[in-house]
Amino acid sequence: MNLEEVMQELEALGKERTKKIYVSNGAQEPLFGVATGAMKPIFKKTKINQPLAEQLYATGNYDAMYFAGIIADPNAMTVADYDRWMDSAYFFMLSDYVVAVTLAEADIAQEVADKWIASGEEMRMSAGWSCYCWLLGNRKDSEFDESKLANMLELVKNTIHDAPERTKYAMNNFLYTVAISYVPLHEKAVETAEAVGPVEVGKDKKPTKLIHALANIQKEAAKGRLGFKRRHVRC
């Protein structure tokens, strides 16, 4: 399939209701409103195709950009390529669920995520923390440096309340993910979540919202889900 054929199929799958949901979460025109599950038949035709992924991502169409992440070859992309994709990731559904997810399957994942976390830019920081969540939920514990993750927990504790909005969500999710999916630091992650307490988000809206990693950790622990790992990162 070529770019035009994929775009035609995506447009045909678009639903106005889905489009409204995406827009309410921050998506901007152009977009069709395609449910992610509906993209699987197209993937069976394209398979992994990095050149086509690049063309789709460059359209600026949200659905095409999302599908680009599904068909991308993560290890064919360089640090510069991921930075370029991040430059166009204007809201969290792109930064955290397209770019970070694709990066999580690359050998350079931690290197790039570390750089983004240190960048001070909201979307890059959000993607960096989110990438670690995808990594921790998929890769073996032995693939991570325990002391490095412990230091990252400390960074969350010391900075989350002053972090940009979307970064707060990603950092909160990092606390939860370490506690559930990285057994060696379960107790430290729980202690950190307790120390952090509820985190206020949505200060530009009334009423504001509180997110609290500890409550979600306790729910999942009660279900016996400590050590959870998913088989695949991308759908």
What does the domain layout of the chain look like in residue ranges? 109-235
Q: Torsion angle of alpha carbons 76, 82, 83, 86, nearest 10°?
A: 150
Tens-binned pLDDT, residue by residue, of the chain (235 aa): 999 999 999 999 999 999 999 999 999 999 999 999 999 999 999 999 999 999 999 999 999 999 999 999 999 999 999 999 999 999 999 999 999 999 999 999 999 999 999 999 999 999 999 999 999 999 999 999 999 999 999 999 999 999 999 999 999 999 999 999 999 999 999 999 999 999 999 877 778 899 999 999 999 999 999 999 998 888 6
d(CA 140, CA 74): 19
Q: What is the pTM of this model?
A: 0.95
* DSSP 8-state code for residue 91: S
Tokens, residue 39: 């993209």
Strand-pair partners of 199: 211
